[in-house]
């Protein structure tokens, strides 16, 4: 229990540091956009206020963490599955245009099923195929949402 | 007013709009039953579908999902001790006890009937109060509007639960994210990093699908377990005379609490259900029965969360301020059609205003009919394996994000916000204030600049106007109490 709490605490520290940097970055960006004066606000005026606010609040969070006050959050139960899924999503975005929607989605669905511990068999293969091809037919052909064709489009034509 | 309502019914009773209301109600009940999928994620996923619809139909369908989820959420709380929605958490206490002592039918019955009564009372209140409030708000200038939006955001942050500091950080971050793209006043590019895809700013739909849809899938991946199946049968859904005698007053009080708490941004279903449960326990002649299957403990919170889900439409329809993430998605659906909800909505688009209200009267009837006889069917929905459900969510999010601009870039943005949203959850940062602030940011900025220009840069304008000063004072009061560590447990929980 004590260890879980310590993990949570350093989580607040990491988050506070991240948002502090983000706030400082926003202030820097706002200054480059020109802040102007209250009576003649320039594009950077509002982002400057936001950046300032985020910086101060992040500093408060870090301070609170040092004073030993935890402010909630959940511990990571299991990181392997979410991390693998995130990698799968990133690969999907990279492959969506070259491979096309159907192949990329089939691959992503297969990866997600494996992560979820579903054994590869006829049932899961059928699920993957029906999901990828079915959603393509439904959205691209029936509902007129154009989806990337990719290499299948090159093979089969438009 | 009756005339307006009649014209609203004419809109809502058109076959298509009836179908959309029915579809929304069914889908809402379904996602209310399913624990892994909430209303904001569902509404975000369906937003791209509404591009081609009439705006009023879009609102009718999305609203149906939102209040329908409150009906469905109680079912799994009562039968399986699993709250389908956060607003039904407190229903588990007595609802599940009733199931274990063989009274599942009565609990489900009183939950559905209480929801129906509260929902209908809520809509009546909504149709009475909204026109008056909108009329009043028409007099707001930029200073008043700025203060009002600020108050709405502050309350949404503080009432949405968890750490107030973290909620505030998310609100400010949302304001910053809202500035990405072209500056609304001067047209300068802000924070686009030279990427042409960002010139129009970050798309709310894409961000929301990431924060709610993808993030939900990722956090459910940590422990993909199937909930236990129901073992007992369900009989005698209609409440007995004794049940009625004990429940009618809690239903009435629950409706009242729900209605008034639901109007407050960030208040809504969760707080009102807890408050009404606590009140019933306090004034009951037999408080010892609460937690052991008291029917009042089901009737009151279930009425409250439904009344709250209806009354949370009031700030949206009259002031243009969404109080929670689901309502914010409905605001986005209107903005996609070029409609900016606010005090003028009732006059400029009476068909939308009164059509949406009329559809809620009808939707409540549909939900009663859907929930009482078909409860067994809804429970069967829990047998859908989570793997299939999560794949469907992922696919809909991908297609939805892609369809916004037909670009893979948006899919990438959604994934980035999905991962971000997952980490936010882990760190205890609430996502709702972020999306609310992102939507309200441009409005806040414009009214701030207008007010400053009109006062020649004198910030005292916000205090010199009495109404604006009052709104700011309330916002400051709400904001300062927890920062001083006096009231809230969230920030000052002892180690």
C-alpha–C-alpha distance, residues B440 and B436, integer Å? 6
Interface with A, mutate which of B46, B47, B216, B391 (most A CBs under 10 A): B391
Yes or no, beta carbons of B394 and A108 under 8 Å apart: yes
Residue B356 phi/psi, 5-degree rounding, is -65, -40
All residues at 6 or more sequence positions from B134 whose CB lies less than 8 Å from its CB, including other chains: B317, B318, B319, B343, B344, B345, B346
C-alpha–C-alpha distance, residues B16 and B456, integer Å? 51
Residue B431 is given by DSSP the state S
CA distance to partner chain A, nearest, from residue B380 (Å): 20
CA distance to partner chain A, nearest, from residue B128 (Å): 37
Chain A CB within 8 Å of residue B182 CB = no
Scanning B19-48 for CB atoms below 8 A from A yields 48
Among B87, B85, B57, B66, which Cα is nearest to B359's?
B57
pLDDT attached to residue B225:
59
Mean pLDDT computed over B175-200: 86
The string of pLDDT tens digits covering residues B369-400 is: 888 888 778 877 777 787 888 898 899 899 98
Q: Is the per-residue pLDDT at A28 higher than 90?
A: yes
Yes or no, beta carbons of A71 and B166 under 8 Å apart: yes
Contacts of A93 in chain B (CB under 8 A): 408, 411-412, 415
Chain A CB within 8 Å of residue B449 CB = yes
Q: What would the DSSP string read from start to end of B34-91?
A: -TT--HHHHHHHHGGGGTTS-HHHHHHHHHHHHHHHHHHHHHHHHHHS--SSGGGTTH
**Count of beta carbons in the 10 Å neighbourhood of residue B442:** 18
CA distance to partner chain A, nearest, from residue B479 (Å): 13
CA distance to partner chain A, nearest, from residue B227 (Å): 15
Residue B189 phi/psi, 5-degree rounding, is -80, 130
The string of pLDDT tens digits covering residues A97-140 is: 999 999 999 999 999 999 888 877 888 889 899 999 999 998 88
Cβ-in-10-Å burial (0-12, 13-18, 19+) of B230 comes to middle
Contacts of B173 in chain A (CB under 8 A): 19, 22, 54
Q: Is the per-residue pLDDT at A6 higher than 50?
A: no
Interface with A, mutate which of B142, B154, B166 (most A CBs under 10 A): B166
Yes or no, beta carbons of A73 and B428 under 8 Å apart: yes
Contacts of B425 in chain A (CB under 8 A): 74
All residues at 6 or more sequence positions from B369 whose CB lies less than 8 Å from its CB, including other chains: none
C-alpha–C-alpha distance, residues B290 and B301, integer Å? 13
Yes or no, beta carbons of A54 and B165 under 8 Å apart: no
Output the CA–CA distances (angstroms, integers) from residue B456 to B328, B449, B452, in the order listed. 33, 10, 6
C-alpha–C-alpha distance, residues A65 and B469, integer Å? 34
Yes or no, beta carbons of A53 and B391 under 8 Å apart: no
pLDDT attached to residue B237:
72
C-alpha–C-alpha distance, residues B190 and B209, integer Å? 23
Output the CA–CA distances (angstroms, integers) from residue B20 to B14, B58, B266, B335, in the order listed. 10, 8, 27, 19
Interface with B, mutate which of A82, A97, A108, A119 (most B CBs under 10 A): A82
**E strands in B102-239:** 181-182, 189-190
Mean pLDDT computed over B23-32: 91
CA distance to partner chain A, nearest, from residue B189 (Å): 9
Chain A CB within 8 Å of residue B221 CB = yes
Chain A CB within 8 Å of residue B447 CB = no
Q: Is the per-residue pLDDT at A58 higher than 60?
A: yes
pLDDT attached to residue A150:
80
C-alpha–C-alpha distance, residues B90 and B258, integer Å? 14
Q: Is the per-residue pLDDT at B228 higher than 80?
A: no
- Report the share of chain B in percent with pLDDT over 70: 94
Q: Is the per-residue pLDDT at B86 higher than 80?
A: no
Output the CA–CA distances (angstroms, integers) from residue B398 to B50, B169, B207, B389, B412, in the order listed. 16, 28, 12, 14, 9
Q: Which residue of A has its CA nearest to B456?
A: A39
pLDDT attached to residue B232:
59
Q: Is the per-residue pLDDT at A158 higher than 60?
A: no
Yes or no, beta carbons of A86 and B419 under 8 Å apart: yes
Q: How many Å separate Cα B373 from the centre of its chain?
A: 26
Yes or no, beta carbons of B188 and A43 under 8 Å apart: yes
CA distance to partner chain B, nearest, from residue A47 (Å): 6
Mean pLDDT computed over B467-472: 90
Among B268, B249, B247, which Cα is nearest to B259's?
B268
SS3 readout for chain A: CHHHHHHHHHHHHHHHHHHHHHHHHHHHHHHHHCCECCCCECCCHHHHHHHHHHHHHHHHHHHHHHCCCCCCCCCCCCCHHHHHHHHHHHHHHHHHHHHCHHHHHHHHHHHHHHHCCCCCCHHHHHHHHHHHHHHHHHHHHHCCCCCCCHHHHHHHCC
Crossing angle of helices B432-454 and B142-159, in 10° steps, is: 160
Q: In whole numbers, what is the pLDDT of chain B averaged over residues?
A: 86
The string of pLDDT tens digits covering residues B116-141 is: 999 999 999 999 999 999 988 888 88
Residue with the two structure tokens 């701030």: B448
Yes or no, beta carbons of B459 and A29 under 8 Å apart: no
Interface with A, mutate which of B394, B415, B437, B458 (most A CBs under 10 A): B394
Contact B83, B305 (CB under 8 A): no
Yes or no, beta carbons of A19 and B173 under 8 Å apart: yes
Q: Which two tokens stand for residue B492?
A: 């000052």
Mean pLDDT computed over B64-71: 89
Confidence class of residue B334 from pLDDT cuts 50, 70 and 90?
A: very high
Q: Is the per-residue pLDDT at B364 higher than 60?
A: yes
Query: Of B162, B173, B224, which is closest to A54 when you measure between CB atoms?
Result: B173
């Amino acid at each position: 229990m004590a260890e879980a709490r310590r993990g949570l605490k350093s989580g607040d520290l990491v988050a506070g540091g991240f948002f502090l940097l983000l706030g400082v970055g926003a202030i820097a960006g706002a200054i480059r956009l020109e802040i102007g004066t209250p009576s003649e606000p320039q594009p950077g005026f509002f982002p400057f206020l936001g950046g300032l606010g985020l910086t101060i609040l992040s500093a408060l969070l870090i301070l609170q963490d040092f004073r030993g006050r935890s402010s909630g959050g959940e511990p990571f139960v299991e990181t392997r599955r979410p991390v693998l899924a995130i990698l799968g999503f990133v690969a999907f975005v990279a492959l969506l245009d070259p491979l096309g929607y159907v192949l990329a989605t089939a691959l992503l669905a297969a990866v997600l099923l494996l992560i979820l511990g579903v054994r590869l068999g006829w049932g899961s293969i059928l699920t993957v195929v029906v999901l990828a091809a079915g959603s393509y037919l439904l959205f691209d052909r029936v509902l007129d949402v154009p989806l990337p064709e990719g290499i299948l489009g090159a093979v089969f034509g438009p | 007013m009756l005339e307006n309502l009649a014209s609203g019914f004419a809109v809502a009773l058109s076959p298509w709009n009836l179908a959309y209301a029915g579809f929304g109600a069914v889908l809402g009940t379904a996602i209310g039953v399913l624990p892994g999928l909430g209303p904001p994620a569902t509404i975000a996923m369906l937003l791209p579908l509404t591009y081609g619809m009439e705006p009023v139909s879009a609102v009718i369908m999305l609203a149906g999902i939102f209040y329908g989820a409150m009906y469905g959420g109680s079912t799994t709380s009562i039968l399986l001790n699993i709250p389908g929605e956060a607003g039904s958490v407190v229903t588990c206490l007595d609802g599940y006890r009733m199931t274990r002592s063989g009274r599942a039918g009565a609990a489900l019955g009183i939950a559905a009937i209480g929801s129906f009564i509260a929902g209908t009372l809520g809509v009546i209140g909504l149709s009475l109060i909204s026109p008056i409030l909108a009329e009043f708000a028409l007099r707001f200038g930029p200073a008043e509007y700025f203060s009002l939006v600020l108050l709405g955001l502050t309350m949404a942050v503080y009432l949405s639960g968890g750490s107030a500091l973290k909620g505030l950080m998310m609100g400010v971050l949302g304001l910053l994210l809202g500035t990405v793209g072209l500056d609304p006043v001067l047209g300068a590019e802000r924070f686009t990093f030279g990427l042409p895809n960002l010139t129009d700013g970050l798309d709310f739909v894409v961000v929301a699908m990431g924060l709610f849809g993808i993030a939900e899938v990722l956090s459910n991946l940590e422990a993909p377990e199937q909930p236990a199946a129901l073992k007992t049968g369900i009989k005698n859904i209609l409440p007995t005379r004794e049940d009625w005698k004990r429940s009618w007053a809690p239903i009435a009080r629950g409706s009242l609490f729900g209605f008034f708490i639901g109007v407050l941004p960030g208040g809504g279903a969760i707080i009102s259900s807890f408050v009404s449960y606590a009140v019933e326990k306090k004034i009951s002649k037999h408080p010892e029965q609460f937690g052991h299957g008291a029917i009042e403990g089901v009737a009151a919170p279930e009425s409250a969360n439904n009344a709250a889900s209806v009354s949370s439409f009031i700030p949206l329809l009259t002031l243009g301020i969404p109080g929670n993430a689901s309502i914010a998605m409905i605001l986005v659906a209107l903005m996609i059609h070029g409609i900016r909800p606010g005090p003028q909505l009732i006059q400029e688009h009476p068909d939308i205003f009164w059509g949406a209200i009329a559809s809620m009267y009808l939707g409540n009837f549909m939900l009663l009919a859907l929930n009482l006889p078909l409860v067994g069917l809804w429970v069967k929905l829990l047998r859908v394996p989570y793997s299939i459900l999560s794949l469907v969510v992922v696919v809909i999010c991908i297609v939805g994000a892609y369809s916004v601009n037909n670009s893979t870039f948006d899919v990438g943005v959604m994934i980035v916000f999905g991962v971000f949203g997952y980490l936010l959850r882990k760190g205890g940062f609430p996502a709702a204030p972020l999306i609310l602030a992102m939507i309200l940011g441009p409005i806040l900025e414009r009214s701030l600049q207008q007010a400053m220009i009109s006062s020649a840069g004198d910030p005292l304008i916000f205090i010199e106007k009495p109404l604006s000063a009052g709104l700011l004072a309330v916002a400051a009061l709400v904001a300062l109490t927890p920062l001083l560590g006096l009231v809230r447990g969230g920030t000052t929980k002892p180690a």
